[in-house]
Structure 1
Amino acid sequence: MPSCSKCKQPVDSQAVNCPHCNNPLKAFGHPGITLYQSEDNTWLCDRCIYHQDDTCNFPQRPYAQSCTLFHDLSIPLIPEIATPSSRQGWTGIKNWFYRYRGLVAIALLILFSVFLVLSSR
């Protein structure tokens, strides 16, 4: 259950305003638009990814204490989904052979040549 950024009381995730201190929790009174608010009167822009790459067009920038566009720099925009190689099974082996098919072909040619030389003796 989320908490209010102002009074730290637990609130419903769909609440538009905090029932304890009447602090706005959703932007424009709409339960689908999250309103990010700074704590301890700090600015959000210092740690926002859109401020760092200069794509923010928010009028209160760089001193915004509440924002609808805020995204923390420490959290990637697109989370990386990595499948462990132990779970890939045959598909992982097949992909590895496809990726390194040139080296595999050279290794097979060398092994075939060594086999021919040893069998001709």
Structure 2
Amino acid sequence: MPTCPRCQSALDAAMVHCPRCQLVLKAHGHPGIPLHRALDGEPLCATCRYHADDSCNFPQRPQAQTCTLYRPPIQETEEHRFPPRRGFLGQRWRQYQGLGAVLALLLISLVVVLLQG
């Protein structure tokens, strides 16, 4: 069972406000949006994955004490350092799918014209 970060009272996971100290527990009053809080006074941005890769667009960055976007950093493992390799066509096909479809239609239409002529 979760506890309130301010008064340490027991809470239901779906509660939006702490019934004892009225601390807002969920973002925008919605039980499905968690609100992450800095517990030790250190800004959340210091340990956030989005701040580390500079993709955060939160207005309170880099001093955010509460955040709905917070993600802890990824622990680097062998899998993250060395992603599985795919063949050349496996990597490039997704990038040029539209061109491949147009070329396939042109080839089919050329074959149909040559067979009828």
Normalised by the size of structure 2, how large is the TM-score? Answer: 0.61
- Is the Cα–Cα contact under 8 Å of residues 6 and 39 in structure 1 kept in the other structure? no
Counterparts of 2:2 and 2:75, CA distance in 1: 19
Give the gaps of 5 or more residues in structure 1: 81-121
Q: Deviation per CA, 1:2-57, whole angstroms, max 9, x where unpaired? A: 11122222211000001111110000000110000111322100000010001100
Tell me what 1:41 maps to.
41
Q: What CA RMSD, in Å, does the superposition of the two structures yield over aligned residues?
A: 1.8
Of 35-44 and 59-68, the range deviating more from structure 2: 35-44
- Is the Cα–Cα contact under 8 Å of residues 37 and 67 in structure 1 kept in the other structure? yes
1:24-103 to structure 2, matched below 5 A, reads 24-74=24-74
- Is the Cα–Cα contact under 8 Å of residues 48 and 73 in structure 1 kept in the other structure? yes
Counterparts of 2:23 and 2:75, CA distance in 1: 26
Normalised by the size of structure 1, how large is the TM-score? Answer: 0.59
Counterparts of 1:18 and 1:7, CA distance in 2: 9
| Matched AA of 2:20 | H
Counterparts of 1:11 and 1:42, CA distance in 2: 25
Counterparts of 1:62 and 1:73, CA distance in 2: 16
Counterparts of 1:65 and 1:10, CA distance in 2: 22
Aligned residues: 77
Q: Which runs of 4+ in 1 moved over 4 A?
A: none
